Amino acid sequence: MSGDLDLLSLDASGQLALLASGRVTAVELLKLTLARHEQTHRRLNAVVAADLERALERAKAIDDIRARGGALGPLAGLPMTIKDTLDVSGMPASSGLEAFRRRQAEDAAVVAQARRAGAVIWGKTNVPVMAGDWQSFNGLYGTSNNPWDVSRTPGGSSGGAAAALAAGVTALEIGSDIGGSLRVPAHFCGVFSHKPTWALTPQHGHVPPKPGSWQEPDLNVIGPMARSARDLRLLLSVIADGGVSPKAPPADLTKARIGLWLEAPGLPLDPQVRAVLEAYSVELAAAGAQVEVISPPVDVETLLEAYLLLLGSIVGADMPESQIRRMELMRPAARFARSRGAGPFSWAGTVMAYTARHRDWLAADAIRARLRREMEAVFEGYDAILAPIAPSTAFPHSQGSFASRRLKFSDGGGAPYITMLGWIALATACLLPATTLPAGIAADGLPVGAQLIGGHGTDARLLSLAQAIDENVRGFTPPPAG
């Protein structure tokens, strides 16, 4: 290697290859990683808790096993951080709350799987309180910043994770997503993520819900974040309950059929974001993919009404009252019944619901089941749908109530903050996989991501397509040195 910087700029697969070849030891790689963290921490505040003594012991043990020729797992010796909504032994998930940080905890299910695969887990990355925002700040650890522009958010709720990845502080992360929490930070920071098909990965040890719960909450998923699509495949193969192989070859782009979905009533999009996605689609077509502009694959008004009720029924269950007030959550029963017969859906005055009568939840679930069936027909004609993730690029820090926040667009327009839920709703409500890929840089100099949405249970095929795009069209671009 020409230097330490080159080593840390490699993706996880590249770093693992060097570990396996003996060109770097696990201890050396961990120390380089910690030096990068120290160098960037004051600026980014991405990794907010660490257990360095045990991480160093773990790295030394892996080096010893490798020196003896012993069997090692696929992540052996790789330093990793974990989103602070997942329990790690010695570093329980705080989810931004001091009371949760003080308790004892075992590894979350996915963390245990990563550790068994040989990962050296050394730190926790910042989140909003109870993962309830598209920014990552809380009273316990403070505010995380975007490495592309520290005056802007890296996103949420996996914001610290995305910032650490983009800055080279970590090469792999485990995040979660119920309202875009894997996709939005990856989009804002220019990295990769994969929201799996619901229930592909176990949720035990994720907070929320409250610590100790054995629930597998509706909508929520746990998935990988990385700087390459091949790394997403690798980590998902470790944490998923079967069905994903990291060794399958990338897809043949000349056989890929992609539906390009860029507009729908009620889903705003900054013109500069749209311009990047349109240019990206041209690049895909030039690489041999069949790209076809499509209309909304389902009725968006119906989707949003059902999704908001399903989502709100979950997120409010364990949310502190202070966060509920910040989000200005609404009781949905009357709204849901009214909206179904009250004309076009409007984001005005809408945040999300946090309680629901069971019959209203059942009505929303029935709508969701119908939409899922409609999506099955859509995927008979396309391998994936390419769509925006958020209405805008990363926005400046804004920590007032949700109602006081507003997204500003490059053409002078804008949209309510809650419209951040719009473009991510389809994959979440219908329990579909969605891979985030870097699509380019907008006119404001910030990254734009695209979500590649696949059919239910097609995670392996979707990631194979994502890897082909990553390696043949466009991959990760590091942020400018700051």
Name the pTM for this structure.
Answer: 0.95
Supply the pLDDT for residue 323: 72
Instruction: Determine the average pLDDT of the residues in 264-293.
Output: 97
Supply the pLDDT for residue 255: 97
Please name the residues in contact with 123: beta carbons below 8 A apart, sequence gap of 6 or more: 37, 47, 48, 49, 50, 51, 81, 82, 91, 170
Q: What does each C-alpha distance from 236 to 126, 246, 272 come to in angstroms?
A: 21, 8, 32
Instruction: Determine the average pLDDT of the residues in 14-22.
Output: 97
Is the model's pLDDT at 421 over the cut of 70? yes
Is the model's pLDDT at 308 over the cut of 80? yes
Percentages (nearest 5) of helix, strand, coil residues in the chain: 40, 15, 45
Contact 317, 208 (CB under 8 A): yes
Q: Name the pLDDT band for 3 (thresholds 50, 70, 90).
A: low
Instruction: Determine the average pLDDT of the residues in 9-16.
Output: 97
Supply the pLDDT for residue 327: 67
CATH class of the domain defined by 4-239: alpha beta
Is the model's pLDDT at 261 over the cut of 70? yes
Supply the pLDDT for residue 245: 80
Contact 369, 302 (CB under 8 A): no
Q: Name the pLDDT band for 166 (thresholds 50, 70, 90).
A: very high
Ranking 91-105, 220-234, 243-257, 312-326 by mean pLDDT, the lowest is 312-326
Supply the pLDDT for residue 330: 45
Instruction: Determine the average pLDDT of the residues in 267-274.
Output: 98
Q: Label the pairing between strands 384-387 and 257-260.
A: parallel
Q: Label the pairing between strands 79-83 and 120-125.
A: parallel
Q: Name the pLDDT band for 272 (thresholds 50, 70, 90).
A: very high
Q: How far is CA 424 from the centre of its chain?
A: 11
Is the model's pLDDT at 203 over the cut of 70? yes
Contact 473, 284 (CB under 8 A): yes
Instruction: Report the share of the chain in percent with pLDDT over 90.
Output: 85
Is the model's pLDDT at 28 over the cut of 60? yes
For 40-75, what is each residue's pLDDT tens digit? 999 999 999 999 999 999 999 999 999 999 999 999
Element (H, E) at 39: helix 26-44
For 315-370, what is each residue's pLDDT tens digit? 777 777 677 666 665 444 334 444 444 445 677 655 555 566 788 899 999 999 99
Instruction: Determine the average pLDDT of the residues in 448-470.
Output: 97
Among 351, 335, 336, which Cα is nearest to 403's?
Answer: 351
Q: What does each C-alpha distance from 255 to 117, 245, 318 come to in angstroms?
A: 34, 21, 46
- Say how far apart CA 153 and CA 144 lie, in whole Å: 7
Supply the pLDDT for residue 402: 87
Classify the C-alpha dihedral 85-88-92-96 as positive or negative.
negative
SS3 call for 406: strand
Is the model's pLDDT at 233 over the cut of 70? yes
SS3 call for 213: coil
Q: Residue ranges of the domains in the chain?
A: 4-239
- Angle of helix 358-378 relative to helix 332-339, nearest 10 degrees, comes to 50
Calculate the average pLDDT of the chain.
92
